[in-house]
Structure 1
Amino acid sequence: MVYDCAIIGGGPAGLNAALVLGRARRSIALIDNNRPRNAVTHASHGFITRDGITPSEFRRIAYEEVLRYPSVDHLQTEIVSVRKLESGFELLDSSDVRVQARKLILATGVKEIFPDIEGFYPLYGKSLFNCPYCDGWELRDQPLVVVSELPTFFHSAKLLFNWSKDLVVCTNGRAPLTDEQKKQLQAKGIVVMEQRIAAFVGQNGRLEHVRFADGTEIPRAGGFVIPRFVQSVPFAEQLGCETTPIGGIATDEWGQTHIPGLFVIGDAAYIGPSQLVLAAASGSRVAMRINTDLSDEEFE
């Protein structure tokens, strides 16, 4: 069987694309390895009618809705390679099973690379987070820390000030802030700490102190650690896709790469705020484009 479209990735982007294409009576292979990036998250926010939902419940409801459509096949497997055929794509999974499709959507997302700081992971998803739009409200008005080694640090610090005025920003010895930026932050009462961080200290998932390499400690109740994002799988590289300056896979406004029939949706394309609603919207938009392309081809 050759599917109309294969979708690699069962997050909100891939699920919404499958929903739209399933309703358009297209044959779909929705391929998911069941390892969602937001599994550590206790609640997802910012999606109207689903604000505060757990990621597992979101996936349960989404799959229940998508699989009502008989033309959508859910394949729980790990894709290990993808290649372009003359008239479509062939996917190979970890069991040497091959899947062919006329169109291919990569909804594979990204993975975070966090600064290597002792004590981070036991606190991550409980009192340390990476997205203020996802978790800023829950930490509002608390004494917070924001840690980043990236050039976007100043922007992150300004954003966090909206949720808490008791803010300490830490460069972890990487010094991405200019003197002018430090002056602007300090003028708002934001403390700037430029020494290297030795550890996050806390228990039962709750941050208590940030300990620096020089022995200094500051009490904090929570905070945000800004990661670097990279593509979670090598498929775009295997297929020869172009990338954006910030590491996303380059597409046009409809998610089409320069490779005919290959589309990218969600975080893998734009690497921005990781919001369910943004990812789902991109899946819906691109699915309509693919259905239009398939319809045009069938009339030619």
Structure 2
Amino acid sequence: MTDAKNFDVIIVGGSYSGLAAAMSLGRALRRVLVLDSGKPCNQQTPHSHNFITQDGYTPKQIRTTAREQVAQYPTVVFQDGLAVSGVKTATGFAITTENQDQFTAKKLVFATGIKDQMLDIPGFAECWGISVIHCPYCHGYEVRNQKTGLLGNGDAGFEYVRLISNWTPDLTLFTNGPSTLTAEQTAKLKEHNIGIVETEIQSFPHDQGKIRSVVLQDQTEIPVTAFYARAPFVQHSTIPQALGCELNEQGLLKVDMMQKTTVSGVYASGDNATSMRSVASAVAAGTMAGAAVNRELIAEEF
């Protein structure tokens, strides 16, 4: 293997968390390869918020600026492509791309994110990230006080409604089937004038991703201009699991405070390892991962 394909660290994933890790490692003079497939989970989101100095910029603008800044560090190399497999070697790890390029490194950082699974309801995927949203801290201010729907049920649905009620008094809970709320939870929602709709949802009419209403299976149409939902997800990359990295009960990679996974030499940062899905938290986790990897390399070398 030539030096051109051998690095101190390979970072799989070149969005916010991966780029933050790359900057930390580039500034630590480490030879770093950033492998990126170019498929961020927020590519449909029009604007990013709640990230100081970058509030209101598009996700693409933030990534572009970040990559330009990281590229100024000469020991950081970028490679566009999808990593498809990884194996442990005598000196570290080898990562292979879909084009059968192979790269080796002493350490790995997975900043691969997650892949949201779109609900099989017409209009849901088209509105996802635009007017069907998941995080009030990221998008709630922009739809404050608007007529808002929320998909949820049971204890999780109740807690979600309680959270979102901070941003709007005009809120309706759609359970998409029989309610599993307790009598006490139902009474509490009614006390706060939050409607509960149990009829299954048929579709989300919209204009280029901007939701107009929720249409139920009985053809009832309920106007909304924003809708909260927590879509199920899977790991965007299965390589960490193939290497032996454990997942927690939420399906996220298990990491410690230093972003170490359960496999020695493998780190993870960003949406694949935390339920706090925001640009700011992804950057923070990537910065920590980069510093922790460098510290581990120093300990091995000194």
Normalised by the size of structure 2, how large is the TM-score?
0.94
- C-alpha separation between the residues in 2 aligned to 1:212 and 1:171? 11
User: What amino acid maps onto 2:300 in structure 1?
Assistant: E
Quote the residue 2:50 is aligned against. Answer: 46
Q: 1:107 to 1:44 in 2, by over 3 A?
A: same
Distance in 2, Cα, partners of 1:90 & 1:150: 45
Pick from 165, 170, 176 the counterpart of residue 172 of structure 1. 176
- Which residue is equivalent to 2:288? 285
CA contact (8 A) 2:259 2:269 kept: yes
Alignment check: 8 A CA contact 1:251 1:257 kept: yes
Q: Is the 8 A contact 1:108 1:233 kept in 2?
A: yes
Q: How does 1:78-97 map to 2 (within 5 A)?
A: 78-97=82-101
Q: Deviations over 1:109-163 (max 9, x none)?
A: 1111233211223333332222211111110111100113685222211111111
Q: Which amino acid aligns with 2:8?
A: D
Contact 1:131 1:273 in 2 (8 A): no
1:129 aligns with 2:129: no
User: In the superposition, relative to structure 1, how do residues 174 and 18 fare at CA in structure 2: closer, same or farther (>3 Å)?
Assistant: farther
Shift of 1:180: 2.2
Superposed displacement of residue 277, structure 1: 0.6
Whole-angstrom distance in 2 between the partners of 1:177 and 1:150: 4
**Aligned residue among 195, 201, 213 for 2:205:** 201
Q: 1:287, CA displacement in angstroms?
A: 1.0
Shift of 1:220: 1.3
Q: Which of residues 270, 276, 280 is equivalent to 2:279?
A: 276
| Residue 86 (structure 1) shift | 2.4
**Separation in structure 1 between the aligned mates of residue 208 and residue 79 of structure 2, nearest angstrom:** 37
After the TM superposition, which of the residue ranges 162-171 and 194-203 deviates more from structure 2?
194-203
Q: Alignment partner of 2:167: what SS?
A: coil
Comparing 193-202 with 47-56, greater Cα deviation is found at 193-202
Q: Which residue of 2 aligns with 1:144?
A: 148
Query: Matches of 1:156 and 1:92 in 2, distance apart?
Result: 41
The within-5 A match list for 1:3-22 is 3-22=7-26
5+ residue gaps, structure 1: none
Aligned to 1:114: 118
What secondary structure does 2:272 align onto?
Answer: helix
For the residues of structure 2 that align with 1:124 and 1:284, how far apart are their CA atoms?
28
| Higher mean C-alpha deviation, range 278-287 or range 122-131 | 122-131
Deviation for aligned residue 1:205: 3.1
Partner residue, 2:192: 188
CA offsets per residue over residues 184-208 of structure 1, 9 Å max, x none?
1111100011121011123343322
Q: Secondary structure at the match of 1:92?
A: strand
Q: Deviations over 1:34-68 (max 9, x none)?
A: 11111101100111000011011111100110010
* d(CA) in 2 for partners of 1:60, 1:80: 24
* AA of the residue aligned to 2:117: I
User: Scaled by the length of structure 1, what TM-score is found?
Assistant: 0.95
Instruction: Give me the whole-angstrom Cα distance separating, in 2, the residues matched to 1:148 and 1:17.
Output: 35
Task: Note the residue ranges of structure 2 that are not aligned, 5 or more in a row.
Answer: none
Q: Distance in 2 between matches of 1:10 and 1:57?
A: 14
Question: Judging changes above 3 Å, is the alpha-carbon distance between structure 1 residues 151 and 102 closer, same or farther for their aligned structure 2 residues?
Answer: farther
Q: Distance in 2 between matches of 1:21 and 1:200?
A: 45
Which amino acid counterpart does residue 232 of structure 2 have in structure 1? R
Tell me which amino acid in the other structure corresponds to 1:94. Answer: E
Structure 1 residues 204 and 80, CA gap change in structure 2 (3 angstroms): closer
Matched, 1:235 2:242: no
How many residue pairs align between the two structures?
298
Counterpart secondary structure, 1:36:
coil
What is the aligned partner in structure 1 of residue 160 from structure 2?
156
1:297 aligns with 2:294: no
What SS does the corresponding residue of 2:219 show, helix, strand or coil?
coil
